[in-house]
Amino acid sequence: MNLIYEGKAKKIYTTDREDVYLQEFKDDATAFNGVKKDKISHKGEINNFISSEIFKYLKENSIPNHFIEKVSDTEMLIKKVEIIKVEVVCRNIAAGSLVKKLGFKEGEELENPIIEFYLKSDELGDPLFTEEHIYALKLADKHDIGIIRKMTNYINTLLKKFFLQRGIKLVDFKLEFGKDKHGNILLADEISPDTCRFWDSLTNKKLDKDRFRFDLGEVEESYQEIKNRLS
């Protein structure tokens, strides 16, 4: 096994199968583009579990994705894809940068989900950009973005239902997509409290990485709470 990529929260290794990678979840947490750094105990294990459950559920509901199987507490096997350097954010309730940058009121329910694109670039700080920028930078073409929008809307419908059944409001989330060797677009990366905003549906208590970002306390407990509700 060779380490081929190390990100802020995960490592990716090659395996003895050409089309298969091993994805390992780390306890490391960063926020504000790496400005704030720490470890969240057991996060790797918790996020591997949560992401595995969600990708399994999405696969059962016809969303093509990179997940193959969970192979240890912190590792899963995934299909090899070339990541499209676009982070896709989908929002149902105003929070985070919608409040900070655009003046929405936190907690305001959006009439329709908002899909946004961010350039996946640590050096440039992941700026918000438009479809035209995606085409000009040749990160994806119109056909790809059409598929990505459709998949994102359907994933949102599926996940909103999935979480609501578990007493959780899906406020917003970030997705990444990749292409396999045949050119098929697959949902990739992870879906976890690191990449979503989850609020308790009765109390609106934040159960996600905002607890780490803004020093709200009970960080590990909140990740564990999401895991428990999926168990």
For residues 119-178, which are near ligand TMP according to CB under 6 A?
126, 172-174
Q: Which two tokens stand for residue 67?
A: 């997940």
CB 75 within 8 A of CB 51: no
- Whichever of 121 and 184 has its CB closer to ligand TMP, that residue is 121
Q: How far is CA 113 from CA 28, 33, 49, 175, in A?
A: 30, 25, 27, 14
Residue selected from 43, 80, 169, 197 as contacting ligand TMP according to rule CB under 6 A? 197
- Whichever of 18 and 32 has its CB closer to ligand TMP, that residue is 32
**Per CB under 6 A, which region of 67-75, 107-115, 132-140, 192-200 contacts ligand TMP?**
192-200
Q: How far is CA 83 from CA 108, 139, 230, in A?
A: 32, 10, 27
- Whichever of 56 and 213 has its CB closer to ligand TMP, that residue is 213
Listed residue (87, 85, 88) closest to 115, CA to CA: 88
Pattern 71-110, ligand TMP, x by CB under 6 A: ------------------x------xx-------------
Answer yes or no whether residue 65 interacts with ligand TMP by CB under 6 A: no
Alpha helices by DSSP H, listed for 24-118, are 43-60, 97-102
Least Å distance, CB 78 to ligand TMP, is: 18
Q: Residue 63 burial by CB count (10 A; 0-12/13-18/19+): exposed, middle or buried? A: middle
Which residues in this chain contact ligand TMP in the complex, by CB under 6 A? 89, 96-97, 126, 172-174, 195-197
